[in-house]
């Protein structure tokens, strides 16, 4: 094993693995450092690829990023499956759209606004009556009053994606270092490698920090030690946003597409898998580095899912986990050169890590619209300091 | 290993293990047959030893059985801990009483009746105002209007009890046969042993059938094959009553004693462990041999627990399982000679298996009030046929 690489990626979630895979396909000698790859937010994630219906809660720059990455998903999924030696359908990538439903007059008005906004941007967003919603999804609650179908939205199984990425990396000879990155090594202001917690040095021409919620500077109580070795102000202001999510098991799929709605003021979404699994997500909690599944979190998910789809009551609970999304002050990811030569960032993807993985990998490989890279620049936070 | 025993117990739940332990202490050569001991209803059970507060939902004969067994619990726990080489407190046996709380006027009226009934029988049952309830248990919901403290009630950790029983059995040289009992062997109308699913014969002077919900005659769809080899009408009319139950984890105990109440018409109880675990149970469902933990079952438990004790919201979910209680038509257990010489039954304990284990073991050892044994006689069902 060479202890010097062209590229060393710190963090083995969907972002880090995608960046490493893209680079390895480009012919670089690549390593990934993570004590437990594919076990954090990527393991919890539902895998909605839904830039349009996410418009509700965010701004236009994120929509641009999301659409650019959504366009990349079909070929990303196909090439990844092939590279991992799997069938084309093995990642459960599907593009049946997202159905956003409304219960009350306020919800309906909000959906009208989103639909108008999306249509104005040339995006397909079809408004539906309650009856039309139930014709699409017969298991929906009778109290659903109307909805909007974002027809371009898609979804994928993130656990299958990261498993395929790990296989593809192995087949391409990428080195997986199962240890924690303790510090960045620098020489004359340039980042030259990483010091693992287990000691020694792993040298690299470029280091990409893709450690999700663990990429940020020193945090508050309960926060893990930040990666050392950098001057203050370089690490991005990333914070953990806890999400609890559960998986139910059905003998056969009870939805044909993703469904989301607002219940008692909280957003819930339901993502169906081809094998009958139904993902119900997710809470959004500012709890620091806390990954406990709580009675209150589960109760909220169960309450909201029942409201949307009463039939869930009969389904078996197969999994309940919590993950930490890497949130940023402006809800946009942090991708690009971090300042010191040799260091890039690829983090801060918050709710959109799975969606933005193909675009992030391309941007880190120098392949992508410079305007998009500018939106994500780490320097936007450094300038404010 | 001798293939002939004085006593062969079919079923390694808390009942079967207790019967075997009592017999082994009496000097008998004993074997227990179970493919997965201590994994069924005993693993799910909360461990309330609450004959008085159970009076609500049942009849006086069961109360007599419960009180007789409750009296045996302190010495049973002490002797079991000693026999298993453990500290006296290791089974988490505690006797702080059950607090039964009421939210509305109807609940209060029902509690008044139970309290009057219990007091009439000379049992301690103290009525409390809402304020007195919260003085005992400060975490209780403000909406609790009053309650009743059944001061004699106790509780224990069933998982620690079965683990101690398995250790004690091993130390006493009891043979544990990890296989399913396929059939009873008979000779001239007398039961002479058991044929395991793995073949062969295990001979015994007496067989005790203590297989819980699996002790009954041939059931409906989805039911496992009944134990073979007996004339029709001998196996008791035991049916599975599904209970889903969850365990929450707290840094320290948030209750000092068991609390129960009726929320939205369903009964919920909360059992605290010394280490901070809080058991929340349990659903009662007639679903056949179905042990799935469902979204609806969990939702009901979480909803009811929140109503009683709003602070549960912050607690971590550590376990959720379903067990099958062995229910009988009259809610009384089935203990005693089954008809054919050499065969005894010890099953049908429904919600009271843990409570009734010491008494059941004594009755099977010929030690106990003949009047109690008569209440439990298997022949009461055979006579009706």
- How far away is chain B from the Cα of A43, in angstroms, using its nearest Cα? 19
**A306 vs B296: CB contact, 8 Å cut-off?**
yes
Non-local CB neighbours of B141 within 8 Å, separated by 6+ positions: B307, B308, B309, B310
B314 in contact with chain A, both atoms CB, cutoff 8 A: yes
CB A77 within 8 A of CB A355: no
**A299 vs B299: CB contact, 8 Å cut-off?**
yes
Number of helices (H), then strands (E), in chain B: 11, 18
Tokens found for residue A384? 């404010």
Give strand pairing partners of B248. B278, B317
**A295 vs B303: CB contact, 8 Å cut-off?**
no
pLDDT values of chain A reduced to their tens digit, one per residue, 385 residues = 457 999 999 999 999 999 999 999 999 999 999 999 999 999 999 999 998 776 655 578 999 999 999 999 999 999 999 999 999 889 999 998 999 999 988 888 888 888 888 888 888 899 999 999 999 999 999 999 999 999 999 999 999 999 999 999 999 999 999 999 999 999 999 999 999 999 999 999 999 999 999 998 666 555 676 799 988 889 999 999 999 999 999 999 999 999 999 887 788 999 999 999 999 998 999 999 999 999 999 999 999 999 999 999 999 999 999 999 999 999 999 999 999 999 999 999 999 999 999 999 999 999 999 999 999 999 999 865 4
A254 in contact with chain B, both atoms CB, cutoff 8 A: no
Non-local CB neighbours of A209 within 8 Å, separated by 6+ positions: A10, A11, A215, A227, A235, A338, A343, A344, A345, A346, A347
**pLDDT value of residue A137:** 97
Query: Phi and psi (nearest 5°) for B5?
Result: -125, 160
Give strand pairing partners of A225. none
Nearest CB to A294: which of B295, B305, B316?
Answer: B316
pLDDT tens figures, B68-103? 999 999 999 999 999 999 998 899 999 989 999 999
Residues of A in contact with B296 (CB under 8 A): 306, 312-314
Nearest CB to A298: which of B292, B294, B302?
Answer: B302
**A302 vs B305: CB contact, 8 Å cut-off?**
no
pTM: 0.91
User: Which residues numbered 233-252 in A keep a CB inside 8 Å of some CB on B?
Assistant: 248
Nearest CB to B299: which of A292, A303, A316?
Answer: A303
B321 in contact with chain A, both atoms CB, cutoff 8 A: no
**A295 vs B317: CB contact, 8 Å cut-off?**
yes
**A316 vs B296: CB contact, 8 Å cut-off?**
no
ipTM of the complex: 0.87
Nearest CB to A294: which of B296, B299, B315?
Answer: B315
The residue among A36, A13, A14, A43 whose CA lies nearest residue A279 is A43
Nearest CB to A298: which of B292, B296, B317?
Answer: B317
Number of helices (H), then strands (E), in chain A: 10, 18
Residues of B in contact with A294 (CB under 8 A): 313-317
To which residue do tokens 């109690």 refer?
B372
Residue A241: Cβ within 10 Å count: 21
Q: At what angle are helices A60-83 and A158-171 packed, to 10 degrees?
A: 50
The residue among A370, A110, A96 whose CA lies nearest residue A118 is A110
């Amino acid at each position: 094993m060479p202890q010097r690489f062209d590229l060393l990626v710190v963090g083995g979630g969907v972002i880090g693995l995608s960046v490493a895979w893209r680079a390895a396909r480009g012919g670089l000698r690549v390593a990934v450092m993570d004590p437990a790859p594919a076990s954090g937010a990527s393991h919890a994630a539902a895998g909605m690829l839904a830039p349009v219906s996410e418009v509700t809660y965010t701004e236009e720059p994120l929509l641009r990023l999301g659409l650019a990455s959504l366009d990349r998903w079909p070929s990303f999924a196909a090439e990844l499956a092939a590279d991992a030696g799997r069938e084309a359908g093995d990642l459960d990538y599907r593009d049946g759209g997202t159905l956003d439903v409304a219960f009350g007059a306020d919800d309906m008005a909000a959906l009208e606004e989103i639909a108008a906004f999306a249509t104005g941007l040339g995006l397909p967003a079809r408004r539906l009556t309650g009856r039309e919603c139930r014709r699409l999804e017969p298991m929906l609650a009778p109290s659903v009053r109307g909805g909007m179908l974002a027809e371009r939205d898609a979804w994928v199984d993130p656990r299958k994606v990261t498993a395929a990425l790990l296989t593809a990396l192995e087949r391409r000879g990428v080195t997986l270092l199962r240890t924690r990155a303790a510090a960045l090594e620098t020489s004359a202001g340039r980042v030259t490698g990483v010091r693992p917690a287990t000691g020694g040095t792993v040298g690299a021409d470029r280091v990409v920090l893709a450690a999700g919620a663990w990429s940020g500077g020193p945090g508050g109580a309960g926060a893990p030690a930040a990666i050392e070795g950098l001057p203050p102000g370089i690490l991005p202001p990333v914070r953990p946003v806890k999400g609890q999510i559960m998986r139910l098991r059905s003998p056969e799929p009870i939805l044909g597409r993703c469904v989301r709605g607002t219940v008692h003021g909280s957003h819930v979404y339901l993502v169906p898998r081809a094998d009958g699994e139904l993902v119900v997500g997710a809470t959004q909690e500012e709890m620091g580095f806390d990954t406990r599944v709580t009675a209150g979190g589960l109760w909220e998910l169960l309450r909201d899912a029942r409201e949307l789809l009463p039939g869930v009551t009969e389904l078996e609970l197969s999994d309940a986990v919590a993950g930490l999304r890497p949130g940023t002050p402006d809800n946009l990811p942090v991708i690009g050169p971090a300042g010191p030569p040799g260091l890039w960032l690829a983090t801060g993807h918050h709710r959109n890590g799975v969606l933005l993985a193909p675009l992030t990998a391309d941007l880190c490989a120098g392949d992508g619209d410079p305007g998009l890279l500018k939106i994500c620049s780490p320097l936007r936070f450094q300038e404010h300091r």
